[in-house]
Amino acid sequence: MSVLLFKVILIVLIFLISLGLAAYATYGERKVAAFLQDRIGPDRAGPFGLLQPIADGVKMFLKEEIIPTVSDKFLFILGPSLFMVTALMTSAVIPWGTPMEFGGVSYPLQVADINIGILYVLGVVSLGIYGIMLGGWSSNNKYALLGAIRASSQMISYELAMGMSVIAVLLMTDGSLSLNVIVEGQKGLNWNVFYQPVAALIFIITAFAECNRTPFDLPESESELIGGYHTEYSSMKLGLYLFAEYVNMFISSAVISSLFFGGYNFPGLEYLQTVLPTNLVSLISFGVFFGKILFFIFFFMWVRWTIPRFRYDQLMRLGWQVLMPLAIINVLITGAVITFFGN
């Protein structure tokens, strides 16, 4: 099997998994919301309502497509597409498991092991704001514009703290930005979260803000802005926005778990590698990574149905006056400790 063929298969698989998981995350969200509120949630379509995402998808496709006459049509269509593309692109650099082996050749379970992995993630995620910004602005609607402005200012404010919290991790991995190296460095239970709890906390909080999830869902805030940046959207274009949010959540969970929670590492991985065939271990490690991702997706939902939204001034104060200085101090302390005491 050529490397190219393996990569193509891997890309298609990851693509399908991201989309499938995002589809079922919508179902999961409704179920989690229901369970946390002592309800049952969707249970009509199929057993336990498992066909609900399909029903929702069909509904979205069959809805009437409305494009406002005063909108900029090209940008109006470009908005949701861009948001979706950037949401899906991020998964390229995430190491999904230990390498597989076919015919004596080792294939890493990672689409692209580029040496600036985490930088690529941060870059592509911040590109995603263009999808929201273009969609909100081209709708020619004040609520959509307000939502888009909120989204972009929120992204800018929280991206700084996010980048700073990542730097503290990078200091510990000898400055390598490759996600593969970062995950490799967390063998067993040597997870970064135990060495960098503050960075992990900041990163998780900022990830919530980057995904526009509660308590930072001001761009959407139904109660104030009708639908926020997607007020004017209907049919599958609205569906794409909602769907991309779940893809973003999936990718964020993957990045959180590979940066701070050991990625595919788990205690006993080395032992398994000596007794079991390579490919099986690879699948197990993928399963463990997936479990971590699912937990974080659940955590996203759990928080959403627990706490209310921040006020806008609180959001800005938290971003600039708390998270930013905290992240910088964290970097300084980490640097000092590494300089004086070694790794």
Binding site for other proteins (CB under 8 A): 32, 35-40, 43, 302-303, 305-307
204 backbone dihedrals φ, ψ, rounded to 5°:
-65, -45
Minimum distance, C-beta of residue 98 to other proteins, in the bound complex (Å): 32
Q: Residue 24 burial (CB < 10 Å; 0-12/13-18/19+)?
A: middle
Minimum distance, C-beta of residue 32 to other proteins, in the bound complex (Å): 8
Beta bridge partner(s), residue 107:
100
Of 139, 121, 118, 134, residue with least CA distance to 69: 139
Residue whose CB is less far from other proteins, 198 or 269: 198
Residue whose CB is less far from other proteins, 130 or 302: 302
Distance (Å, whole) CA 129 – CA 126:
6
Residue whose CB is less far from other proteins, 201 or 337: 201
Looking at residue 192, its amino acid is N
Minimum distance, C-beta of residue 211 to other proteins, in the bound complex (Å): 17
Minimum distance, C-beta of residue 317 to other proteins, in the bound complex (Å): 10
Minimum distance, C-beta of residue 201 to other proteins, in the bound complex (Å): 8
β-strand pairing of 105-109 with 97-102: antiparallel
Beta bridge partner(s), residue 106:
101
Minimum distance, C-beta of residue 48 to other proteins, in the bound complex (Å): 11
Residue whose CB is less far from other proteins, 137 or 300: 300
Minimum distance, C-beta of residue 224 to other proteins, in the bound complex (Å): 21
Looking at residue 296, its amino acid is F
Distance (Å, whole) CA 127 – CA 124:
5
Residue whose CB is less far from other proteins, 44 or 339: 44
Residue whose CB is less far from other proteins, 96 or 208: 208
Q: DSSP letters of 219-241? A: TT-HHHHTTGGGTT--HHHHHHH
How far is residue 269 from each of residues 97, 287, 295, measured CA to CA in Å?
Answer: 11, 12, 20
